[in-house]
Amino acid sequence: MAPVTSLSHSVEQHLTSALSATLPEAGGADPLLRRSDRADFQANGILALAKKAKANPRELATKVVANVVTGDVIKEIEVSGPGFLNVTITDRAITENLAARYADADRLGVPHAPQPGTTVIDYAQPNVAKEMHVGHLRSAVIGDATMRMLEFTGESVVRRHHIGDWGTQFGMLIQYLDEHPHELDHKDAQVSGEEAMSNLDRLYKAARRLFDADEEFKTRARRRVVDLQAGEPHTLAIWQKFVDESKIYFFSVFEKLDMEIRDADIVGESGYNDMLAETCRLLEESGVAVRSEGALCVFFDDVKGPDGNPVPLIVQKSDGGYGYAATDLSAIRDRVFDIKASTLLYVVDARQSLHFKMVFETARRAGWLNDEVKAHQLAFGTVLGKDGKPFKTREGETVKLVDLLDEAVDRATAVVRDKAEKVGLSEREIEENGRYVGVGAVKYADLSTSAVRDYKFDLDQMVSLNGDTSVYLQYAYARIQSILRKAGEARPSARPELELAPAERALGLHLDQFGETVAEAAAEYAPHKLAAYLYQLASHLTTFYDQCHVLSPDNAPKVVENRLFLVDLTARTLQRGMALLGIRTPERL
Ligand SMILES: NC(=[NH2+])NCCC[C@H](N)C(=O)O
């Protein structure tokens, strides 16, 4: 299927050729086209061009208008104000454009990126033997949506879940389990995610208690760290038990999140262990890193501590141990030279921004990153409670992700149940929809604000039927499905010969922007731009319902068909857009 040229793009092309005909030196200049309330579009680009050419803007604009070809796409164009151009599109062009999108059932006319590459996206990276918290939720949700948008635009995407599965904290856990070997035995093979986490939690607390109270245990635990780093088989086997138990828990949470995470994409910190020594050698030999008080360090002119002294990135500690930075630098080598990525994307909390700034700069100095291979941190802000403070339980503990999700689903199920009788939903459908609405609400609240901003976690607001929520979008979708079911004989069918009402044009012109919006949201790693688009789409739909009846007996059959076509395309666009955000759209709600 050939990509659909958007109306705004055709208008741009018309204006650009009229501009070049009028003022050859302005050939190819951007007419700066925007949607407008006065007409369908307004072009603001003439003003700057006139200034540059020392011409009167209104006169220039008038000449350009005379050179614009009207008819098929542009119905009317006129000069307004100091030299703006107001453009009105023909109704036929709108309907024909939408019909072309409708015919492209899978992509709805969304173009492929002009130069797709390979992106490694690092997201959903919880830590072994630890509870997942709302920060991990953000990385998973934002990463999943970004990954889906990128794939849809034709990028090849490699997923990496860089889980925290290595480090000194494992010494104590492994030592404890070695001394209490049956504490992770599962009598029956199946363990739920919840049980797995509570097993890990119990072991962690017990090991901690011993570690703090018993000096000899502490010494044994420290020796374990050395054994682990040396890859001693018995130690590794115990370590593996913690990883496996944690994965049971992680996968149960991802399933609750209605998110597909593949085991093969989980390459934790331990996965780069073999590369650490070589990474350090390369950095030291090239002079990128230097020895300072025994540690291998990289220094930066602009990174200083409160005392004014430089704060280095420590690649290897003076005791020979490697840390988070060495692992991330090794992962960069792997992603650049083995996976052959053109972009490395990290969906990680903004509190780690300094770490990534230093790691990326180090990799650039080493020549691993450059103009062809770029790295970017998609940093996200903190999740706040209703009170605007970092999200904590009343007891001051970090809130467990699972509890939040369960509560969201409970509330959503109540909302769904309220209307269930009218819609005729079975108990099974109520539960399924409750899950999709609840999880969708949590995801959408996260995705609808720009990632860098902190956001308030407010369940009441999230499942509200009015306002910028996923439930509102899901209802918009389901309502269209109900109209389509009621349509009987009438089938959606585009009727380009019909004149359109204002609300139909507004809806149609917004549908025309879907491709550009997806392309922009993907290229800028900005799912919130897609969310905002979908919310506006649902709002246009609401206005359309107010002003235009779809199945009214007063409508000529052609009008019914064309309106069914419009709402069906709207529904498909909502569904496609929501799917790109990782949110389901139930058929009946
Ligand atoms: N390549 C990376 N460092 N990815 C981010 C890992 C996030 C880390 N596991 C955490 O929970 O904070």
**Residue-wise pLDDT tens digits, 1-33:** 677 999 999 999 999 999 999 988 887 788 999
Whether 127 is in the pocket of ligand 1, judged by its Cβ within 6 Å, is: yes
Any ligand 1 atom below 6 A from CB of 348: yes
334 ligand 1 Cβ < 6 A: no
Q: Are 485 and 477 in contact (CB under 8 A)?
A: no
Residue 57 Cβ < 6 Å to ligand 1: no
pLDDT tens by residue, 37-71 = 889 999 999 999 999 889 999 999 999 999 999 99
Q: Is 268 in the pocket of ligand 1 (CB under 6 A)?
A: no
435 and 549 both lie in a single domain? yes
pTM of the model: 0.95
Q: How far is C-alpha 448 from the chain's CA centre?
A: 10
Determine how β-strand 343-349 pairs with β-strand 118-122.
Answer: parallel
d(CA 510, CA 490): 25
- 557 and 414 both lie in a single domain: yes
87 neighbors 76 (Cβ within 8 angstroms): yes
Residue 422 has pLDDT above 80, yes or no: yes
User: Is 95 part of a structural domain of the chain?
Assistant: no
Is 455:446 a contact under the CB 8 Å cutoff? yes
Residue type, 572: R
Q: Which domain holds residue 551?
A: 401-580
Average per-residue pLDDT for the chain: 94
- Atom 4 in ligand 1: which residue has the minimum CA distance? 162
Q: Are residues 413 and 551 in the same domain?
A: yes
With 90 as the cut, is the pLDDT of residue 493 above it?
A: yes
CA distance 286 to 322: 19
Q: Is the same domain home to 438 and 575?
A: yes
- Predicted local confidence at residue 18, as pLDDT: 93
Confidence at 389, pLDDT banded by 50, 70, 90: confident
d(CA 534, CA 527): 11
Q: Which residues pair with 127 in a beta bridge?
A: 164
Cα–Cα distance for residue pair 114/71, rounded to 1 Å:
30
Same domain, 462 and 556: yes
pLDDT at 29: 85
CATH number where 561 lies? 1.10.730.10
Residue 57 C-alpha to ligand 1 middle, in angstroms?
Answer: 54
Residue range 75-93: average pLDDT? 96
pLDDT given for residue 332 in this prediction: 98
Instruction: Tell me which residue of 274, 204, 280 sits closest to 242, measured CA to CA.
Output: 204
Q: How far does residue 223's CA lie from ligand 1's centre (Å)? A: 26
For residues 82 and 181, membership in a common domain is answered with no
pLDDT at 393 over 90: no
Whether the per-residue pLDDT at 151 is higher than 90: the answer is yes
Is residue 112 situated within a structural domain? no
**Do 177 and 69 lie in a common domain?**
no
C-alpha radius of gyration, the chain, whole number: 29
Judge if ipTM > 0.90: yes
As a whole number, mean pLDDT of residues 82-109 equals 96
Ligand 1 pocket, residue 144 CB under 6 Å = no
What is the position in ligand 1's atom list of the atom closest to the CA of 136?
11
The verdict on residue 312 lying in a domain is no
Q: In this predicted structure, what is the pLDDT of residue 306?
A: 87
Measure the CA–CA gap between 158 and 335, rounded to whole angstroms. 9
Are residues 465 and 573 both part of a single domain?
A: yes
Residues 6+ apart with CB under 8 A from 230: none
* Domain boundary residue, one of 89, 107, 122: 89
How many angstroms is it from 122 CA to the middle of ligand 1? 8
The predicted pLDDT at position 261 comes to 97
Which of 222, 250, 265 is the last residue before a domain boundary?
Answer: 265
Centre of ligand 1 from the C-alpha of residue 352, in Å: 9
Residues 421 and 537 in one domain: yes
Domain boundary among 223, 244, 265: 265
Residue 172 lies in a domain: yes
CA geometry: angle at 440 spanning 437 and 446, to 5°?
Answer: 145
The DSSP H or E segment spanning 439 is helix 427-447
Cβ-contact 587, 478 below 8 angstroms: yes
Does any domain span residue 302?
Answer: no
Q: Which of 313, 330, 348 should be mutated for ligand 1, with most atoms under 8 A from CB?
A: 348
CB 8: neighbour CB atoms within 10 A?
19
Q: Is the CB of 269 under 6 A from ligand 1?
A: no
164 lines ligand 1 (CB under 6 A): yes
pLDDT at 213 over 90: yes
Q: How confident is the model at residue 188 (pLDDT cuts 50, 70, 90)?
A: low
Same domain, 405 and 528: yes
Q: Provide the domain count of the chain.
A: 3
Q: Return d(Cα 264, Cα 26) in angstroms, integer.
A: 53
User: In the beta sheet, which residues pair with residue 178?
Assistant: none
CB 315 within 8 A of CB 329: yes
Residue 553 pLDDT: 93
With respect to residue 418, please indicate whether it lies within any of the assigned structural domains: yes
Q: What is the DSSP string of 279-319?
A: HHHHHHHTTSSEEETTEEEE--TT-B-TTS-B--EEEE-TT
> From the CA of 340, how far away is ligand 1's center (Å)?
21
Tell me, yes or no, whether 454 and 569 share the same domain: yes
* CATH number of the domain where residue 12 is located: 3.30.1360.70
Does residue 121 fall inside a structural domain?
no
